Amino acid sequence: MPIVVDHGKETDGHATATSPTHLKALLRGRNLKGLALVPAIVIVGIVGSVTSPAFATPYNIFDNILAFSAALGVLVIAESILLIGGLIDLSLQSTVGFSVIVFCYLMGGGTSGGPGLGLPIEFAIPITLGVVVFIGLFNGFVVSVLKLNSFIVTLAMLILLQGLTLGLSNGQTYTNIPDFILFLGTGRVLGIPVQAVIFIAVFSVAGLFMSYWPTGRAIYAMGGSHAAAQAAGIKTGRLAIGLFVFGSLMAMFAGVLLLSQVASAPSTLGRNMIFTVFAAAVLGGIDLNGGRGTILGAALGVLLLAIIQNILILSSVPSFWIDAVYGAIIVAALTAGRLRTLRDVLIRRQHISS
């Protein structure tokens, strides 16, 4: 009994002694770090409203910006979680197109627009899922059991899957898209496009999961210090394989979202997406060395890129220039971020010496 009383005292002592610092930490700590892009988004938003009257309308925000970022967002979540866990998967971009083409191929033939087997959808869905899970398992096995470098392995996988996609479809575009998928592209929930709802939902779920659920925290621990995670009893091999499978499934989901938007499946679906994915994740503060960054930050990274693209389109910048502007903005943002952390370090050093 006296022990219990002691514990109570300990807790109370801690709480009273630390609550002001705790508040400060909350304001200045990592919670705020995730919001580092908010000022940039506000500035870009103001620029957008000034340059185009069509920018600050609910239709533009929900139907153009949010809904059209859903597929990118899903892929950014997958890559961010892998990066936080200290892994990398470049092949996600190919899985986007490959999973969709496999699905269309299984059901295809005849008037579908490309070659196929003509299987009913009850077979096509589980087979596609199996193929996608297998890709993740394979990546995970090679990286975490055979200990090959994940950059190289998934780069090879990216090329392989891209080739398989072209080979299977014969380079053609499928149009045999089931209605329920088309609904994802055109449907609305409470007047809001389904994809905008999906965008908000997936980021909320992923953000909460990574911050508060044990598996999410284990991923942070693994990326922050692999050895420490192992020493804490986390089964890092199994977790890594799980992350690759999760990544592949999310890539398939992103593929389905893209498919529903364009209502047809070209063999180039998802092509070049990985660059934007990395740009958004890195802008959002995801550390390529693992263990650092938040899903909220990554979401803001996606939003910033989407808003910039939206403004460029609204102000009818020739589409050939969009990538150049993108690249310039990313380089500028990264440099600014680095300069800010350098300044913080300098200020802290002065603090210590004085």
Partner 1 sequence: MNAPNFPAVRVNGVSKAFGRNRALDKVSLTIEKGSSLALLGRNGAGKSTLISIITGIHPPDAGTVEFGSRGRSAGVECVFQRSTLVPALTAAENIMLNNYPKRGGMVDWKRLSRRGRDILADWDCANIVDAPVETLAPVERKIIEICRALSRNPSVLLLDEPTAGLDFAGGQRLFKWIREARDRGVSLLYVSHHLEEIFEVCDQTTVLRDGRVVLDRALDGMSIRDLVEAMVGDARRAEQVSAPPAFAPRSLPVLTVESLTVDTRVSEIDLKVRQGECVGLAGLEGAGHMQVVQALCGLVPVASGSVVVDGRKLRRFDVAEGMKCGIGFIPEDRHEGGYVPEMSVAENATLPIMRRLRRSFGPVRQSLREREYARLGGEWSIKAASPRQPAGELSGGNQQKVVLARAMSTDPKAILLMNPTAGVDIAAKQSIYQTIKARAEVGKAVLIASSDDDDFSICHRVIVMVRGKIHKELVAPFSGHELAMAIQGE
Task: Catalog residues that contact partner 1 under the rule CB under 8 A.
Answer: 6-7, 10-11, 14, 18, 21-22, 25, 29-30, 208, 212-214, 217-218, 220-221, 224-225, 227-235, 291-292
Q: How far is CA 55 from CA 48, 266, 311, 341, in A?
A: 6, 30, 7, 33
Collapse the DSSP code of 76 into the 3-class scheme (helix H, G, I; strand E, B; otherwise coil) and give the result.
helix
49: how many CB neighbours lie within 10 A of its CB?
14
Q: What are the helix and strand counts (H, E) for the chain? A: 16, 2
Let me know how long the chain is: 354
Least distance from C-beta 199 to partner 1, angstroms? Answer: 22
Q: Which is nearer to partner 1, 226 or 271 (CB)?
A: 226
Q: Which is nearer to partner 1, 13 or 126 (CB)?
A: 13
Comparison of 7 and 42: residue with beta carbon closer to partner 1: 7
CB nearer to partner 1: pick between 14 and 338: 14
Smallest gap, in angstroms, from Cβ of residue 203 to partner 1? 17
User: In whole angstroms, how close is the CB of 25 to partner 1 at the nearest point?
Assistant: 6
Closest listed residue to residue 33, CA positions, set 310, 301, 330, 223: 301
Query: How far, in Å, CA of 209 to CA of 176, rounded?
Result: 36
Minimum CB distance to partner 1, residue 37 (Å): 19
DSSP 8-state secondary structure symbol assigned to residue 192 = E
Q: Which of 32/324 has CB closer to partner 1? A: 32
To partner 1, the closest distance from the beta carbon of 31 in angstroms equals 10
The b-or-e profile of 90-129 (16+ CB within 10 A means b, else e) is bbbbbbbbbbbbbbbbbbbeeebbbebeeeeeeebeeebb
